[in-house]
Amino acid sequence: MSLEIKVPEVGESITEVTIASWLKKDGDYVEQDEIIAELESDKATFELPAEVSGVLKIKAEEDETIEVGAVICEIDENAEGSGSKSEDKAESKEEEKSEPKSDSSNSSSGSGPKKTGEVHEMVVPTVGESITEVTISSWLKSDGDYVEMDEVIAEVESDKATFELPAEANGFLKIVAQEDDTIEIGATICKIEVTEGGAPSDSSSESSSSSSESSSSGQEDGKETYATGHASPAAAKILKEKGIDPANIKGTGKDGRITKEDAENAEKQQSKPSPQKDKAEDKIETQSVPASSDARAQNREKMSSLRKTVARRLVSVKNETAMLTTFNEVDMKPIMDLRKKYKEQFKEKYEVGLGFMSFFTKACTMALKEWPAVNAQIDGNEMVYSDYVDMSIAVSSPKGLVVPVIRNAEKLSFNEIEGEVVRLAKKARDGKLSIEEMSGGTFTITNGGIFGSMLSTPIINAPQSAILGMHNIVERPVAINGQVEIRPIMYVALSYDHRIIDGKESVSFLVRVKELLEDPTRLLLGV
């Protein structure tokens, strides 16, 4: 009797999968619940277990894409394949006699944790209203490791921030979603085999290490599993891009499996010459081909989730908004004179420096009160006006551009604004900004001047309707009261969505910002 194995349902929006690899060959004998294949969807990679014991008959080949519910293979329960059931049982009995049991979870000594039989499924938590999926940045624990409640086991990355994932129970970890997999909110990310009795003792850890040593030695002796020399989906993809045969790579993962790290280091391993043959080949090449002094190389790096999302949104803004930019110039001498006069006293009193950002933020909040359309947003067929200003500040971080928000900036003093800018910039550089600190925002300021930009047209930070671009300060000759003087001048640019902001409003807003900056006393008096 043959049982048809069909592609299981793996998500509401997933209609087809690709056969990443078969871990068993056609005609092999497989045990019930043994992993026989790895399947890939557009969101994740998952394993396919055998539903019964028997001989495998493959219906879909590797790299073939088939629909959910289609027959992927058959298992003949009555047949005997290349590895018969009786032989497998005999081998397992011999192994049981020769190998001591080292599973600390089933130990009756009571010194280590005992499995309760409960399996706790951990799902991706909700991290923000607009976030529907996340990427597994890295696993801090390995598959099979013992974890304790609230211990951080993984780092998960969304399009806005990176956050830590704590364990929700004590027990042994079983990883479901691999590194670099993108999965939806609410999807299963891992499982924990719940235990009681505390963490494993030193003796149990020693026995587990000796067990792993014996398994590795057994592998050296020729006892291999389906994982030996087999590349994980992520590793296989990297090796395929590099054009390297997995057969030439020695895996360092469990049971000799080729991991992502093995694949990334494969090029270096391949480039190492072998003892004698390669020396001779190198000698011939050295004699026939002169060394090139202008060698060229390329390095490919996968785009981070943050970088991909930023790219997608910037293109979306350009395509979906009627974006236009207007320019003006600001004489920075009054602000620079004021800073020079009071910066020491300001820092001594408030313990923060007096920078340009507080002046620009105060000027923009005052101008936005007068021109509320610049602080508004389009939501469907409605325009949303805010009577507050949540000021977004563009910050360059190691992972890319992030835009933390200063809440109710219109109510803050100079020192409070400077303090928030310093705090948010530090958290951005350390990669510790929370979702709340980057959500919202009604208007954005970006300062390209710190990198030397003279003039630019910044792109709107959707769903906002406008963004102000600051640039570098350059001394230029200008006419002051009929005479030419050398003044520190900054060009400022306002990019805005012409669907909601008219030319009169955009230009008037920028002129108002210019007036306030060139006479900073008005900022203090609110006039």
Angle, nearest 10°, between helix axes 356-370 and 503-518?
140
Measured CA to CA in angstroms, residue 117 lies from 106, 108, 172, 194 at distances of 11, 15, 11, 7
Active site residue 471: no
SS3 477: strand
Cross-strand pairs, 326: 494
Q: Which of 28, 230, 498, 519 is catalytic?
A: 498
Element (H, E) at 286: helix 277-288
> Which residue in the list 103, 150, 337, 502 is annotated as catalytic?
502
> Rounded to whole angstroms, how far apart are CA atoms 96 and 6?
34
Local structure of 309: helix, strand or coil: helix
Instruction: Please give the Cα distance from 310 to 316 (Å, whole number).
Output: 10
**Angle CA(467)–CA(471)–CA(477) in degrees, nearest 5?**
130
Distance CA(317)–CA(458), nearest Å, equals 11
Strand order from edge to edge, sheet including 2-6: 2-6, 71-76, 54-58, 29-30
Q: Centre a 10 Å sphere on the Cβ of residue 239 and count the other Cβ atoms it contains.
A: 21
Distance, CA of 415 to CA of 459 (rounded, Å)? 29
The answer to whether 414 and 351 are in contact (CB under 8 A) is no
Q: Which residues contact 254 (CB under 8 A, 6 or more apart)?
A: 143, 144, 227
Do 73 and 58 meet the contact criterion of CB atoms below 8 Å apart? Answer: yes
In 10 A of CB 8, how many CB atoms? Answer: 14
**What does 57-107 look like in DSSP terms, one character per residue?**
EE-S-TT-EEETTSEEEEEESS---SS-HHHHHHHHHHHHHHS----GGG-
CA distances from 82 to 54, 57, 95, 136, 228 (A): 11, 12, 20, 39, 18
Q: Tokens 């003044």 appear where?
A: 487
Alpha-carbon gap, residue 320 to 325, rounded angstroms? 16
Q: Is 498 a catalytic residue?
A: yes
Question: Which DSSP helix (H) or strand (E) runs through 118?
Answer: strand 114-123
- End-to-end Cα distance, the chain: 89
Catalytic machinery residues? 498, 502
